[in-house]
Structure 1
Amino acid sequence: MIQTDFLVIGSGIAGLTYALKMAERFPDKKITVVTKAAADETNTKYAQGGIAGVTDFENDSFEKHINDTLIAGDGLCNEKIVEIVVKEGVQRISEIIEWGAKFDKDADGDYMLGMEGGHSEYRILHHKDVTGKEMERALIEKVQQFPNIEFHKHWFVIELITQHHLGYLVTKSTPDIQCYGVYALNTNTNQIEKILAGTTLLATGGNGQVYRSTTNPAIATGDGTAMVYRAKGRIENMEFIQFHPTALYEPGVGGQAFLITEAVRGDGGILRNKKGEAFMERYDERKDLAPRDIVARAIDSEMKITGTEHVYLDCRHLDKDKFIHHFPNIYEKCLSIGIDITQHQIPVAPAAHYSCGGIKTDEWGRTSIRSLYAAGECASTGLHGANRLASNSLLEAMVFGHRAFEDASRLPQTSIDPALIPDWDSAGTTDPREMILITQSLKELQLLMSDYVGIVRTNVRLERAMRRLDLLWEETEKLYVSTTLSPQLCELRNMITVAYLIVKGAQFRKESRGLHFNTDYPEKSPILQNIVL
């Protein structure tokens, strides 16, 4: 058993911002960070484009950034939260610069600000095309300066510990559900251990692996969202899955897709179909710089019309030296598969990218479960509404990592007699005889979600998806109770839960809004609502 003052699940920008501030505020307290892979293997690391923030007050303003966010969110943003993130985000950006993050500057020493879809001004700070990786580097180096931060790498968190584990009946209507910590599998020893904490923060990232093609790394399996749902916490707006319009199309290559950042279109890249037509003007007056939901649906439409599996991003007219300076990794990746961007167009197709919904939180990152906070992509703060504005995610993660820290540092911590918390009960379980039972179910899950619950949906597709999910859930639960736990089995179980929440949210939403487009309800409803599950 491990006891700690502040427990952080996840080591991306949200989790490390919180851990760093706690360690600095309370040098005599213990902060424990648990991550299921290496410390830097997070969704943050793969964020290419940059971080949105108002730093050029001569040409930009908070009001413009707020308005852009509200327009992208298609009527479902919480305006108070949008104002908080936009205004406080500038402080957080200054803070991470002080901690060592380096953003690109011009010859005069001024920050080079990029343009992305949905933005009305140049306001994206970036570090070439690896902004998230640079921010993660700076945070990890800073965190290492604090001896009271303890990392547990390659640990897989299985469940939140609540009154349920004390023998009480806990339901959605139970008042004051309390989090006491987690059960976690130490994959180095294969032992399941209790980690008890005064306060717990979930910063577990997204759930892109639910889909066959995603820009997310293999770790993005929706673990935090699934755990909170099983613990009877509130989840909302899961139907709003953002598909990045331009992932590199590589025939026969599965798993994580290489992202072609939106900033390439911000610098002048043009989307073209099989016939060579610049088609975006037919879908939106903002053309290639329309918000992501519009661009993704337009590409999906063009692919269906022409019967192709991709469209093209044309960068042949762009300045080669400038492209290589701003997007060195994209240039090298394309070159490695025989695409010279000065001679050839880049084949691209949409891929699952970001979950706008998740664990419902308030303005301080509090969840519906006491002593449990959530920040980053796993949280639904109200910022994104029905569609996230490009480059607002890193900003949100820092703002709510900070806000959760401020709130948690003011409140009394939970305490419980450790003897009351039972050890994990694995009696009667045996090692799985065939991993194919897990791997094949995962393939089925990703296939049905991609085919039935993608960019464009119908009632029939959603019904089929739900029936197949029911069967996968039943089969996986039998494995869960009868076999020794492994990260692969736990991830499959979590992804089935997340998929269920996405489909259920999509079935409840009787309209088309933002990232959710159902051809049976092509119009927006005059009644706005968040779908809380």
Structure 2
Amino acid sequence: MPRMNEESRGVFIMRRYLWQGDFSKLPQTRCDVVVIGTGLAGLYTALHLDPALQVVLLNKNGLDESNSMYAQGGIAAAIAPGDSPAQHFEDSWVAGAGLNNPSALQVLVQEGPSDIRQLRDWGVPFDLDSQGCLSVTREGAHHRNRIVHCHGDATGLYVTSTLADRLRSQTNCQLLEKTCLVDFLTDEQDAVCGILTLTADNPGQYAIILARHVILASGGIGGLYPRTTNAATATGDGLAAALRCGAETADLEFVQFHPTALPWPDAQGRCFLISEAVRGEGGILRNHKGKAFMALEHPQADLAPRDIVSRAIYRQMLENGIEHVWLDITHRDRDFLMKRFPTIYETCARRGIDIATQWIPVSPVQHYYMGGVRTDIDGRTTKTGLWACGEAACTGIYGANRLASNSLLECLVFGRRIAQAINHQPTKFSSLTGQPDFSGQLRLVRPILDLPAGRVQTIRLQIRQIMDRHCGILRNQEGLELAAEQLGDIIQELAAVRIQDRFTLETCQMATAAKAIIQAAMARTGSVGAHFRTDDPAGKLNSVV
């Protein structure tokens, strides 16, 4: 990738590697496969790898935190009578505004049901109906009931915890917790041959892991926004590292905002999600006058695609000067709500909201990232040795907007396909595998700086404010250009920073990821799907880029 970038403030050097010390002095370990991330994508991939392979998995906090574990609604798959992969394909295609990759989407909908059966065989406690069959429900933009779920609204938690327990029994898998990805290492053939890591709770402790295969499953970019449903670990690390190593990316402009979350973030910016399944069970969105407004926005009303619902709510908020709208599920009785949505019921109750008798305050927040590192249908990126799956990847299955509950299915289908592809390759780490090539590491033109922690905190807040203001639900060229200039200044300031701790590392990763997203949003001049520009409200300028 180019290392010299023209910015509004002049020319600066992009660091190939964030570490600026002597690589030869860092401790090194070797394995066959390294998996970055232990959400559903990372866990499911690792569990399908040949047991003869030595596998290292790493995460930033622990097995008990990932975006996957917060998934409430469930997993979409055409398993119910009367449903079919063709219908699932059609709903996904329409939701994605026809920008989906048809080959990848066909793989998803055709192979997904077998992965659901695999999860059942492994003991995932899916909810069953009175006949002992999988219970299925409906969410936005689906025309059939096809969402399987666990314990009502805790699907992600039960799926990931079941797989985490299974992983612990795999003798070929080593887990490195509180370990951050810094960069992908490349050899003289420009193939990825390992990773550089930083221990999260031990400042300055860098290490190298050499591997024949590197699988990126690090999740999304929610940390780039002040309000998100994502785990605190989702700061775009994988995207930033991929950009620096020259891997191709795709669809970076498409950021999904979930229409319904409680509007009050915690200290880390995370908002509690109110599952789309609530609207699937008849929930109605109402404005400050109590009027249902979605029927005027789309034929599917409250079950319209997420980008349409989010924009409709956002307009209500802007036009009426309100901080949220309301979701009304009071036509359902208390026993039903407690059984179908136990997590939502209890969480709202702790906040003084009785969802059986009161409307739920909701507003759109950042939720999912359709863009990422470009892959083929087997999870291969454009860099030899580097694979990607889950939210960090871009297979193209989503197009301009993700269909509800397809995300966990993507983790399963393409994670398994990566493992199968690797299993058919030579199994052991070879002495012929390339060694990292650090000759291309550019020297900075100024001394390394130590930024005060307070300044790093300010920069992180600035990144979030820039993205929220200029690359949110509504965008325009003027705002995007201003965002690009402001992020350019931030990147210049961070270019010579010494990175010794997780917080500074994440902030540098966030700046790189944010700038790439802004540039992609500027390049797509027309509105489509989740990328809505107020300077092209009718989508007349849209073209595939």
| TM band (smaller chain) | over 0.9
**Higher alpha-carbon deviation: 244-253 or 106-115:** 244-253
Which residue in 1 is equivalent to 2:388?
374
What is the distance in 2 between the residues matched to 1:380 and 1:528? 19
Are positions 1:106 and 2:106 aligned together? no
Superposed CA offset, 1:15-65 (max 9, x none): 11111111xx2x333111111110231111011100000111x32111110
Residue in structure 2 matching 1:67, options 81, 90, 115? 90
Which residue in 1 is equivalent to 2:252?
238
Contact 1:32–1:150 under 8 Å retained in 2: yes
- 1:142: Cα distance to partner? 1.2
Are positions 1:29 and 2:53 aligned together? yes
Are positions 1:509 and 2:527 aligned together? no
Residue in structure 1 matching 2:404, options 365, 390, 393? 390
- 1:188: Cα distance to partner? 5.0
- 1:320: Cα distance to partner? 1.4
* Partner AA of 1:496 in structure 2: A
Superposed CA offset, 1:380-403 (max 9, x none): 001000000000000011001011
Residue in structure 2 matching 1:89, options 94, 112, 120? 112
- 1:106: Cα distance to partner? 2.2
Contact 1:11–1:35 under 8 Å retained in 2: yes
Can you give the 5+ residue segments of structure 1 that lack an aligned partner in the other structure? Answer: 167-175
Which residue in 1 is equivalent to 2:41?
14
**Percent identity (aligned):** 39
- Paired residues for 1:489-508 under 5 Å: 489-508=504-523
**Higher alpha-carbon deviation: 213-222 or 108-117:** 108-117
- 1:430: Cα distance to partner? 8.2
Which residue in 2 is equivalent to 1:452?
470
Contact 1:75–1:528 under 8 Å retained in 2: no
- Paired residues for 1:267-416 under 5 Å: 267-412=281-426, 415=430
* Partner AA of 2:180 in structure 1: F
**Higher alpha-carbon deviation: 423-432 or 300-309:** 423-432
Contact 1:194–1:423 under 8 Å retained in 2: no
Q: Secondary structure at the match of 2:136?
A: coil
Q: Secondary structure at the match of 1:457?
A: coil
Contact 1:430–1:484 under 8 Å retained in 2: no
Contact 2:236–2:509 under 8 Å retained in 1: yes
Are positions 1:140 and 2:160 aligned together? no
| TM-score normalised to structure 1 length | 0.92
What is the distance in 1 between the residues matched to 2:365 and 2:274? 11
Are positions 1:223 and 2:237 aligned together? yes
What is the distance in 2 between the residues matched to 1:470 and 1:51? 39
- 1:514: Cα distance to partner? 0.4
What is the distance in 2 between the residues matched to 1:382 and 1:236? 8
Residue in structure 2 matching 1:474, options 473, 489, 492? 492
Which residue in 2 is equivalent to 1:181?
194
Which residue in 2 is equivalent to 1:169?
none
What is the distance in 2 between the residues matched to 1:252 and 1:269? 25
| TM-score normalised to structure 2 length | 0.90
Which residue in 1 is equivalent to 2:9?
none
- 1:434: Cα distance to partner? 2.0
Aligned residue-pair number: 512
* Partner AA of 1:468 in structure 2: Q
- 1:347: Cα distance to partner? 0.7
Q: Secondary structure at the match of 2:391?
A: coil
Superposed CA offset, 1:95-129 (max 9, x none): 01111111111232122211100100000000111
Contact 1:193–1:423 under 8 Å retained in 2: no
Which residue in 2 is equivalent to 1:41?
65
* Partner AA of 1:13 in structure 2: L
Superposed CA offset, 1:334-383 (max 9, x none): 11111111222111110000000100001110001001100000000010
What is the distance in 1 between the residues matched to 2:430 and 2:239? 24
Contact 2:251–2:370 under 8 Å retained in 1: yes
What is the distance in 1 between the residues matched to 2:451 and 2:476? 38
Superposed CA offset, 1:169-193 (max 9, x none): xxxxxxx630010011123544211
* Partner AA of 2:329 in structure 1: C
- CA RMSD between the two structures: 2.2
What is the distance in 2 between the residues matched to 1:30 and 1:287? 50
Q: Secondary structure at the match of 1:454?
A: coil
Q: Secondary structure at the match of 1:256?
A: coil
Contact 1:5–1:197 under 8 Å retained in 2: yes
Are positions 1:443 and 2:461 aligned together? yes
* Partner AA of 2:324 in structure 1: H
What is the distance in 1 between the residues matched to 2:524 and 2:411? 27
Q: Secondary structure at the match of 1:364?
A: coil
Residues 180 and 309 (structure 1), Cα distance of their counterparts in 2 relative to 1, 3 Å cut: same
Q: Secondary structure at the match of 1:350?
A: strand
- 1:250: Cα distance to partner? 2.5
Contact 2:238–2:392 under 8 Å retained in 1: yes
What is the distance in 1 between the residues matched to 2:177 and 2:420? 26
- 1:411: Cα distance to partner? 2.6
Residues 418 and 381 (structure 1), Cα distance of their counterparts in 2 relative to 1, 3 Å cut: closer
Residues 328 and 467 (structure 1), Cα distance of their counterparts in 2 relative to 1, 3 Å cut: same
Are positions 1:520 and 2:543 aligned together? no
Superposed CA offset, 1:498-531 (max 9, x none): 11111111101021100000011223358742x4
* Partner AA of 1:109 in structure 2: G
Residues 515 and 393 (structure 1), Cα distance of their counterparts in 2 relative to 1, 3 Å cut: same
Which residue in 1 is equivalent to 2:32?
5
What is the distance in 1 between the residues matched to 2:487 and 2:43? 34
Q: Secondary structure at the match of 2:163?
A: helix
- 1:246: Cα distance to partner? 0.3
Contact 1:246–1:259 under 8 Å retained in 2: yes
